[in-house]
A = this chain, B = another copy of it.
Amino acid sequence: MALLPMAPQGLIQQKNLVEQVADFLTQGVIEQRFMPGERLSEVQLSKDLGVSRAPVREAARLLESRGLLVSRPRRGFFVKALDAVELQDVFDLRLCLERHAIERLAQRYTPEARLALERQVDVLCEAAASDSGTRRIEEDLQFHRLMLHYAGNERLLRAFEGLAHELRLCITLITRTHEAPETIATSHYQLLEALASQSGPACREAIDYHIGVARDSVVRGINEAGVQEEGGAR
């Protein structure tokens, strides 16, 4: 069987097999086709995707570096199971990064950055009003990516990217408890206002509130959903 939509729309170049497999695995983890704690067999994946083990292996390593998989020596790869504590850690690190980023950005708030962020909020609102889950999350993440980008430190963005996958996982898992889309949009406008004021403390307060809301929403979702702690101990 064909593994992935063969024709990447219009683009001449085909991505590496590694990246294709990585995308497939990422989707699988996010959509919970691979359950947390589940063991992923290299040979099985190879057969299913119709490729050799080498690309699967590299892709798995990639996912591991992104925190979506964990590898135990001689045991193979397992889907990362996030518990409540780790979830708190994710949001704590996110807060750390975004605080720093927004304060930096406030000091160099160019019209270009402002325009890009405002446009992204518009897109976000549109997505929130019309579409469902996935795209809403994606546009939300994109806004924060832009913020990190215009903060002017590429490494800051890279660190965030490393977290983004776990973050997306957290959020997707409990998308039902997401606040009303309008609330989220409003929250982003507050960020824009704080940035426009170019006041460090105001920005910090805004981002603290913004991320706090998101974190509480996720935590609440976890509690409501009743965590099935199957992955368990080592």
Contact = CB atoms under 8 A, between A and B. Distances in A.
Say how many copies of this protein the assembly contains. Answer: 2
Contact of A159 (B57, B104, B162): B162
A29 B58 CA distance: 22
B58 A93 contact: no
Interface centre among A93, A95, A104, A162 (most CB of B within 10 A): A93
B153 A93 contact: yes
Contact-residue bracket for chain A: 20 to 34
A58 B16 CA distance: 16
Interface string A141-169: 00000000000011110110011000000
A116 interface: no
A156 B67 CA distance: 13
A89 B54 contact: no
A153 B16 contact: no
A90 interface: yes
Contacts of A16: 73
